[in-house]
Amino acid sequence: MDLESELRRAMAERAAEATASPSLAADVKRRHRRRKARIHAAAGVAAAAVAALALVPTYQSFRATPAGNPETAGPADGGSTLRKPERPPAPGASASPSAKEEPGAGTSRKPETHPSPGGSGGEPRKPGTGGALDGLPRWIAYVPDGLTATGPCTVKGDAKRRTTTCKWRGGTGWLEIGMVKGSGLTGPQDLMKTPGLPGRTSVRGMPALIGDRPGSGRQISWLARPGVGVTVSGGGSVKGRLMRIAEGVRP
């Protein structure tokens, strides 16, 4: 007898002595159900994890991005997915012209009018300003009757100091109004040309100096505002109206 036959006979004798318990079938079924439940639970957990991982990129793509973030500039394919809010035009900035205002749209723009440097600029003046009515600069409001401008106002100087002078002559006397613009003006004393000691007065509340000029003339000087000085000089009967003339000079 060989070894294989011996082993078979021993196994048969051993198995013949063993008996199955009455609950063997129930135990096998119960263990099978537990195994299936564990497999199903593990599969559910794995499916939930996969779904959570799949939702993360979707959430990132739909998450709100603050305005002005570089991510809102545009997608990778060149299209525009998010549009930045339009800013209102700055104060004083002109809006884009409409179709009616664009050149060639059938409408013509109204030409702008610019006042002449020495003229009245289209502003009406009150009567009683004398013979120089049409030649008065905008910053001179009153010239006595009987005077005529000797010519247009002259401008001399450079960027540091510029002087504008207007002159009138007539049978009643003469008048000269000068306006000086410069950063070096400190007071009316910088404008006075009187030989003697000037007196103090005021023009529209601004400190002024008044005094006699050579040749029987008289002069009033004051600073209308920082860096702008005015001198009004006159002779003849004009000397009695210098203050009224000065009150009408407003550069």
**Residues facing residue 156 across a β-bridge:** 163
- How far apart CA 57 and CA 84 sit, in angstroms, is 23
Quote the strand ranges of 22-172, DSSP E: 147-149, 154-157, 161-170
**Would you say 222 and 206 are in contact if contact means Cβ atoms under 8 Å apart?**
yes
Report yes or no on 154 lying in a domain.
Answer: yes
195: phi then psi, degrees, rounded to nearest 5: -75, -30
Q: What is the pLDDT along the chain (251 residues), one digit of tens a residue?
A: 578 888 888 888 877 776 667 777 888 888 888 888 889 888 888 888 888 787 766 555 555 555 445 444 444 454 444 555 556 555 544 444 444 444 444 444 544 444 433 443 334 343 333 334 456 889 999 999 999 999 999 999 988 899 999 999 999 899 999 999 998 889 999 888 777 788 999 999 999 999 988 778 899 999 999 999 999 999 999 999 999 999 999 99
Domain-located, residue 231? yes
* In a domain? residue 76: no
- CA distances to 58, 81, 110, 244 from 74, rounded to whole Å, are 18, 6, 43, 71
Kindly state the tokens that stand for 199.
Answer: 């007196």
Neighbours of 120 (CB within 10 A): 16
Residue 195 C-alpha from the chain's centroid: 52
Look at residues 225, 249, 157 and name the one whose alpha carbon lies nearest to residue 233. Answer: 249
In a domain, 164, yes or no: yes
Total tally of structural domains belonging to the chain: 1
89 domain residue, yes or no? no
